[in-house]
Amino acid sequence: GDGRQLVTGGWDNIAREWDLKTGEATATLHGHTKQLVGLAFSSDGKLLAMTGGDKTARVWNLCSPRPTLWNLCSPRVSALLHGHLDDMDLCAFSSDGRRMVTASDDYTARVWELSSGTSTLELAGHTFHVQCAAFSPDGKAIATASKDATIRLWDPAGRCTRVLEDGGGAEVNWVAFSPDGKCGTRGAQVHTLVGHTNDLHAVCVSPDGRTIVTAASDMHVLFFDPEIAQCVARLPIHRSAVKGVAFSPDGRMVATACRDKAAHIWSKDRSGEWVCRASLRGQASDVGDVRFSPDGKQLASASWDNTCCLWDLSRVLK
């Protein structure tokens, strides 16, 4: 996206779009009858998908001139996707924006053709809730992650091509392909990254693909070299559990979301050590996630106090 839009969704069943210049909500998207679980933009920023606890997904058209579709002047739903038998979790668009995949507590994932709003594939095989689903960059494979402690890879016809098992029996909450699509499609476990001593909450890959950063309840953020599967650096210890982590688009900064009610921004000093450049406070509860804008000039922090703060980094960085 172009970083001009910010959309938030919560347990009040409502999504809101915000004007980043004024801080005002410009549109309120109603329709779900239970809490929102997932939000995703298409790659061109024209479509917004929402999944909820009411077993439905809704796709909104953000710029269509047709009055029957949603736009900033007349918010109307573009597609209502029915088919799952239990709560939906996360959703993702294909890179061309023509399809969407949804994960559900009904033990399945579904692929949807957005031009018609119909489900074209049901990916069945998991034995417990499906937490997350993702398309490969070329759209020829889908990965699903489940509480049954497995990851499944699927081909375009909906056939399961491989089942990946950790062996530790822990539920799998997230799945992602590398930007070049090489990591994830073959289904071979390359490395296990070891170093944390408590629950792992977030994983992020640097824009150049050379570093993996992880955040956990042990208050540590670790940097791994994926080629050798070794921890090569770590941030100074936080004061509380770290719930989220993100690289800036240029890879020079890292932001962390912490249960100390703050978001922290880090970069390297002249000696190559990671130092805290700013601690962004103002939210009344734990900060659960952070995201940089595509141009790297702003940071969004989402908190358990039901707020999302947008920070102008030119003003807050030391």
Model's pTM, two decimal places?
0.63
Give the bridge partners for 51, in sequence order: 38, 57
> Which runs of consecutive H residues, i.e. helices, occur in the chain?
313-316
Confidence (pLDDT) at 168 = 67
In one letter, which amino acid is 80?
Answer: L
Give the pLDDT confidence score for residue 221 in this predicted structure. Answer: 96
Report the C-alpha gap between 55 and 133 in whole angstroms. Answer: 16
- Supply the pLDDT for residue 248: 94
What is the Cα–Cα distance from 207 to 38, expressed in whole angstroms? Answer: 23
Burial of 233-253, coded b for 16+ CB within 10 Å and e otherwise, reads eebeebeebbbbbbbbeeeeb
Q: C-alpha distances in angstroms, 194 versus 52, 206, 294?
A: 34, 18, 30
pLDDT on residue 200? 83
DSSP state of 78: S
| 3-state DSSP assignment of residue 226 | coil
DSSP type of residue 74: S
Structure-token pair, residue 285 = 């509860």
pLDDT of residue 21: 73
Of the chain, the end-to-end C-alpha distance in Å amounts to 28
Q: Which residues contact 73 (CB under 8 A, 6 or more apart)?
A: none
Return d(Cα 307, Cα 162) in angstroms, integer. Answer: 40
How far apart CA 60 and CA 176 sit, in angstroms, is: 24
Cα separation, 308 vs 290, in Å, equals 9
| Residue where the block lists tokens 């249960």 | 259
Per-residue pLDDT of the chain (318 residues; tens, 9 = 90+): 556 667 887 778 788 877 777 777 777 777 778 877 778 777 777 778 888 788 777 787 766 433 222 333 333 345 667 888 887 777 788 888 788 888 889 999 999 887 777 899 999 999 999 988 889 888 999 999 999 999 999 999 999 999 988 656 778 877 877 766 665 544 455 667 888 998 888 888 888 888 999 999 999 999 999 888 899 999 999 999 999 999 999 999 999 999 999 999 999 999 999 999 999 998 889 998 888 887 888 888 888 886 778 788 988 886
pLDDT on residue 268: 94
How many whole angstroms separate alpha carbon 225 and alpha carbon 317?
Answer: 27
Closest CA to 148 of 202, 199, 186, 107: 107
As given in the structure block, the two tokens for residue 58 are 């809704």
Q: How much is the pLDDT for 186? A: 43
Other CB atoms within 10 Å distance of the CB of residue 143: 24
Tokens 């809730």 sit at which residue?
A: 129
The one-letter amino acid code at 246 reads A
Instruction: Count Cα atoms within 13 angstroms, Cβ side, for 204.
Output: 25
